[in-house]
Structure 1
Amino acid sequence: MADDTIRLRPLADTDWDEVVALEARAYAASGLSEGREVLRSRGRVSPATCFVLEHDGQFGGYLLALPYPPGQCPDLTSAEASDHKSANLHAHDFVITEALRARGLSPHFVRQIEQEARSQGFDRISMVAVQRSHVLWRRLGYAAHAEVGLPESYGTEAVYMSKAL
């Protein structure tokens, strides 16, 4: 699949309905859904690091990312109150639409995310892998950090991971 059909663009106010609906479909059944206001709080704190993923000009998913100190992450039950100053970009929520899953697009999107993070001066990306996604992230070069304690809101199977850029 050609990389030129895939791009990141800044998240716009008009994207929130699609973001919230996709997030609910991805996480509600597992109890990990944050809801509109908590999601929007992440976007308000760091709009320069929140993106829509497009494939052939259509909404293909989103990334809500924000600077966060290494080894720390947002609690799913709390709105984001302040912008952390950090060279670590925490990829808090990365979801691809159902129609685009299992088509091998994740590595393309991740490369674009990593390139954008580097261009903004970040030297590391972290995340909390949920729903057994740590397998995918490990293949993309992210390392698990079992020593990092996570908020209870992530459940017992979540894995904190990171990668140096």
Structure 2
Amino acid sequence: MYDDLGLVSLSPSTPNTGAGIATLNPIPEIPPGDIDLIAPLGTVDAGEAGIRVSGNVNVAALRMVNTENIQVQGKSLGIPTIAAVNVEALTNASATAAQAASAAQDAMARDWASVRQNQSSILSVRMLGAGAQTDRTGNRKPVPARCSATTRRHRCGWLGR
């Protein structure tokens, strides 16, 4: 606050909201303004309103938050830089990973195909009948002696006609 004589005094009940910190350069003849923010044991918080500097900024603080809201036209010291995401590198890495996965699947498919070609097969065959039970003349063949009439159908494979 300014008194009648122009002396500055601090007001104990200052609001915590505001329009940020700014040094603007509205008139071309006036040199850009610089800012020095020093909080050796505290935090510099750019907040939602941010910090806009037409010149240079120097920050010395234990901790800084909301640094993405700081805009400097000159040089900046003490502000952590935000790493920009290289979208092209991510896209290339993704495409390379997809190609590697596809190549691995193709190689595995070729391996399985060669395994299947070289694999032996097991066939089970059940003989249900031996064809016609007649000789060349059309007469019935005699039943083998070891087969009785009741078991001929099951054990001897003769279905009888």
| Band of TM-score, shorter chain | under 0.3
How high is the TM-score relative to the length of structure 2? 0.22
Give the TM-score taking structure 1 as reference length: 0.21
Indicate the structure with greater strand content. 1
